[in-house]
Structure 1
Amino acid sequence: MKMSASSSAAAAGEAEPLVHAAFNSNATHFVAATASGIRGFSCTPLKHAFSMGFVPSPGAGSRVITADLAPSGTLAAVVFRPAPSAPDADADDEGDRIRYCRYVLRGEMLGDDICPSTSSSCRVRAVHHAGGHVLVAGDGKAALHYTTSGRAVKRCLEVDTGPNPLGVCALAEARDGKTVVLACPRPAKGQVQVQVGRRGSGGARVDVHAHSSSVVCVALSRDGRLLATASSKGTVVRVFTAADGNKVNELRRGADRADIYSMAFSPESKWLAVSSDKGTIHVFSVNVDVPSTSPAQEDSHSPDTDSPNAGSALNAKQGSSWSFFSGFVPGYFRQDGSLAKFRLREGVKYVVAFSHVPNTILVVGMDGSFYRCEFDPVKGGDMKQLEYRNFLKMK
């Protein structure tokens, strides 16, 4: 598949609106998608890496709805929604398709289509890469696929999520390099399921009662050991140990309701960054190794009514599937406010990630903005802006 012009708007010099943006799992690259194609960028330094256009292939009228990059930054899974096969047909009846592509030098694209569900018609909401696996979240189901050489695709696990219009899910590769950990909602409101996936099979599952309201965002640490969750209230973010679902921290974003857009752990899982519709990026200290507190003290630190008993593990099935967590000593529950903040334009959706450079945050906005900023790990406060670019204007 050759590169092609993205749209008539782009041809006229107008920036086509973004429909999706995401970092790869180690934040070396990010992808930005419009309805007609995607562009990939490297982060250090910020540089345009590749473009993939979908006009006229894979079908006239098709539109991209989401995309993701593998950790290497060279592989892409692009989800597109085909045009109706008949003039009076509804596009939703056609089912979404995923084109799993490999970016090759000289601008060529190779790839295969995979279907994320046993259903012939499926609405795909999100897709993530980690450890040679692709996690696809659709309406009612999430499916884990294993890929070989960027081409062959094999489904190895499928779970029920209940309604998931936001495509809430996360995927991380464990330290053993052979196991991935996935997190996505359960059908029951406010609950999250964490499950191990291996090449060709699934493993043990832990169900976590995270909130009383609907879960709208989840994140896993890069090694899959910690889980962060946020609800539709957006006032607190909770952190759990993925192996057993125990709550180890509660992070207060604010008292007013907010839409949480993205969350990301730092490489060493010491910090957590959170973006919301309030236009502020918060950085929290995760603090998983603080001293134990009594149940009475825990209750005194948790006034939020989002869930009076949030954080209980409902069905922890321990076994060899969680053996890669050995040596990890969790902390105990406490509640903290944010250490540092970075203020941006309110109402714009921003995606956050941690750079490989210590204490450095990367931010990509759906308005085409890219920020690199630094926080003081001791004093906290307002972050220092190191870089700003409009990546939509880059070639």
Structure 2
Amino acid sequence: MATLSAFPTPNPNPNFRSPSDQPETHPQSPPPMDLHPSSDPIPNPNFNSPSDAIAPAAPPLSLLHVSFNQDHGCFAAGIEHGFRIYNCDPFREIFRRDFDRGGGIGVVEMLFRCNILALVGGGSDPQYPPNKVMIWDDHQSRCIGELSFRSEVRSVRLRRDRIVVVLEQKIFVYNFADLKLLHQIETIANPKGLCAVSQGAGSLVLVCPGLQKGQVRVEHYASKRTKFIMAHDSRIACFALSQDGQLLATASSKGTLVRIYNTVDGSLLQEVRRGADRAEIYSLAFSSNAQWLAVSSDKGTVHVFSLKINGGSPGIDRSQTASDPVTPPHSSLSFIKGVLPKYFSSEWSVAQFRLVEGVQYIVAFGHQKNTVVILGIDGSFYRCQFDPVNGGEMTQLEYHNFMKPEAAF
């Protein structure tokens, strides 16, 4: 799942507890059933009501973090004094929480559409220490659990049964019901907090950086198997899992190639080319049926690639849609690929959308057929549609700046 975050450097505090310590507060009940976040929370005098959040004359809000929920139907934004939750289609704000004092939220991770969120403090005046994960129940308007660490939390991933906390060089996996620590993983330096977990109904698959440059580690918890994949020569910059955890897309710090692997046996299934120049890949996303892959980078273009997954590969079984997708473009010189460099025989994207260069964007596939949702750290929201047969430039269906104070929802 793609995430953008901006983190301050926390001041060391000798009172912070070891990550091996038991959580300071335990949930009072198992993970809840799905409840819509727009449900009215219990009144709390320490919080502003949504209608009082921002005066029309206020300056634009400072966005610290933005991330999609697990099915890409919603997204959450962390700001300097709280957080916001938005619906993607139709686009609208469905919830906001503003804290009276300070209130910076550097990470806000949703659990599908229910009232439980994971929060980490951030910004110039964080609401919570950046080394703590707070489990927030918005129906009770309070934290029902917390996890404390010796160093800053880089990211959090949620499933209905697990909480995954990512630090600079360690990952901790907890049981959601009682916050019991189940697993610890050591990684190479991971300042971006790279981590992906499967969200399908099946067993948990977790992917994180390995202990070597360019290596990814795949944990199959059902079979208790660990698979290491040397995905790239350069360091890993980004990766994404398909919903069922069977496919893994990876990009390196070069940002020119994206590789798709079978997580069961580690085999390389496909390689596609974003471009010839180096780029920083911000996010990768599979479509729900793993027929398409979207890529965003600092070059200001979102690419959509067609995936040709081999149905005979172990553990891989992909059904195709009724309409045959366009064949991925190749160089006109690909017929002499044995003589010319690999660049000339590369698979290129079938659809593209142009954005502002240099702005961080994350991308996901929309719930409407052949649509892509793009979120920018500048507060921009785009919904676009691509032609699966002819490809080419995507059509912009919708645009909003969700951080403008005067925006009405």
Q: Scaled by the length of structure 1, what TM-score is found? A: 0.77
Pairwise CA distance, 1:335: 5.0
Q: Which whole-Å CA distance do the structure 2 matches of 1:270 and 1:364 have between them?
A: 22
Is the alpha carbon distance of 1:291 and 1:76 closer, same or farther for their aligned partners in structure 2, counting shifts above 3 Å? closer
Pairwise CA distance, 1:371: 0.9
1:236-315 correspondence runs (5 A): 236-289=257-310, 303=342
Q: Which whole-Å CA distance do the structure 2 matches of 1:74 and 1:213 have between them?
A: 40
1:194 to 194, 218, 234: 218
- Deviation digits for residues 309-360 of structure 1, max 9, x if unmatched? xxxxxxxxxxxxxxxxxxxxxxxxx952111001111111111111122211
- Classify the secondary structure of the residue corresponding to 1:124: coil
Is the alpha carbon distance of 1:336 and 1:47 closer, same or farther for their aligned partners in structure 2, counting shifts above 3 Å? same
Letter in 2 for 1:261: Y
Q: Which whole-Å CA distance do the structure 2 matches of 1:53 and 1:197 have between them?
A: 38
**Residue 4 (1) aligns with residue 30 (2):** no
- Classify the secondary structure of the residue corresponding to 1:139: coil
Identity of aligned residues (%): 38
1:121 to 150, 154, 163: 150
Is the alpha carbon distance of 1:55 and 1:247 closer, same or farther for their aligned partners in structure 2, counting shifts above 3 Å? farther
* Aligned counterpart, 1:185: 209
Gaps of 5+ in 2: 1-43, 314-335
* Aligned counterpart, 1:96: 131
Q: Which whole-Å CA distance do the structure 1 matches of 2:130 and 2:78 have between them?
A: 19
- Deviation digits for residues 116-175 of structure 1, max 9, x if unmatched? 6xxx41211111223432222111011122213xxx423222211121111111111244
Q: Which whole-Å CA distance do the structure 1 matches of 2:172 and 2:120 have between them?
A: 14
Is the alpha carbon distance of 1:82 and 1:29 closer, same or farther for their aligned partners in structure 2, counting shifts above 3 Å? closer
Is the alpha carbon distance of 1:299 and 1:27 closer, same or farther for their aligned partners in structure 2, counting shifts above 3 Å? farther
Given that 2:218 and 2:228 are in contact with CA atoms closer than 8 Å, whether structure 1 keeps it comes out as yes
Q: Which whole-Å CA distance do the structure 1 matches of 2:130 and 2:158 have between them?
A: 21
* Aligned counterpart, 1:314: none
Given that 1:131 and 1:180 are in contact with CA atoms closer than 8 Å, whether structure 2 keeps it comes out as no
Aligned residues: 335
Q: Which whole-Å CA distance do the structure 2 matches of 1:369 and 1:230 have between them?
A: 24
Q: Which whole-Å CA distance do the structure 1 matches of 2:221 and 2:90 have between them?
A: 34
* Aligned counterpart, 1:364: 375
Letter in 2 for 1:303: K
* Aligned counterpart, 1:343: 354
Gaps of 5+ in 1: 85-90, 305-333
Q: Which whole-Å CA distance do the structure 2 matches of 1:195 and 1:269 have between them?
A: 20
- Classify the secondary structure of the residue corresponding to 2:347: strand
Given that 1:52 and 1:109 are in contact with CA atoms closer than 8 Å, whether structure 2 keeps it comes out as no
Is the alpha carbon distance of 1:370 and 1:355 closer, same or farther for their aligned partners in structure 2, counting shifts above 3 Å? same
**Residue 133 (1) aligns with residue 148 (2):** no
Letter in 1 for 2:384: C
1:324-343 correspondence runs (5 A): 335-343=346-354
Q: Which whole-Å CA distance do the structure 2 matches of 1:253 and 1:180 have between them?
A: 30
Pairwise CA distance, 1:290: 7.8
Is the alpha carbon distance of 1:184 and 1:146 closer, same or farther for their aligned partners in structure 2, counting shifts above 3 Å? same
Q: Which whole-Å CA distance do the structure 2 matches of 1:387 and 1:253 have between them?
A: 25
Letter in 2 for 1:191: Q
**Residue 112 (1) aligns with residue 156 (2):** no
Q: Which whole-Å CA distance do the structure 2 matches of 1:68 and 1:302 have between them?
A: 43
1:376 to 370, 387, 396: 387
Given that 2:80 and 2:123 are in contact with CA atoms closer than 8 Å, whether structure 1 keeps it comes out as no
Q: Which whole-Å CA distance do the structure 2 matches of 1:39 and 1:369 have between them?
A: 14
> In proportion to residue count, which structure has more strand?
1
**Residue 17 (1) aligns with residue 62 (2):** yes
Q: Which whole-Å CA distance do the structure 2 matches of 1:351 and 1:208 have between them?
A: 25
Given that 2:47 and 2:97 are in contact with CA atoms closer than 8 Å, whether structure 1 keeps it comes out as yes
Letter in 2 for 1:368: G
- Deviation digits for residues 32-84 of structure 1, max 9, x if unmatched? 1113211001112112111223443xxxx563221211123543111115999
Q: Which whole-Å CA distance do the structure 1 matches of 2:123 and 2:356 have between them?
A: 34
Q: Which whole-Å CA distance do the structure 2 matches of 1:336 and 1:180 have between them?
A: 31
- Classify the secondary structure of the residue corresponding to 1:173: coil
Q: Which whole-Å CA distance do the structure 2 matches of 1:259 and 1:303 have between them?
A: 21
- Classify the secondary structure of the residue corresponding to 1:213: coil
Is the alpha carbon distance of 1:10 and 1:206 closer, same or farther for their aligned partners in structure 2, counting shifts above 3 Å? same
Q: Which whole-Å CA distance do the structure 1 matches of 2:347 and 2:312 have between them?
A: 14
Is the alpha carbon distance of 1:103 and 1:300 closer, same or farther for their aligned partners in structure 2, counting shifts above 3 Å? farther
Given that 1:281 and 1:341 are in contact with CA atoms closer than 8 Å, whether structure 2 keeps it comes out as yes
- Classify the secondary structure of the residue corresponding to 1:33: strand
Letter in 2 for 1:185: P
C-alpha RMSD over aligned residues: 2.9
* Aligned counterpart, 1:145: 174
Pairwise CA distance, 1:203: 2.4
Is the alpha carbon distance of 1:298 and 1:35 closer, same or farther for their aligned partners in structure 2, counting shifts above 3 Å? farther
Letter in 1 for 2:131: D
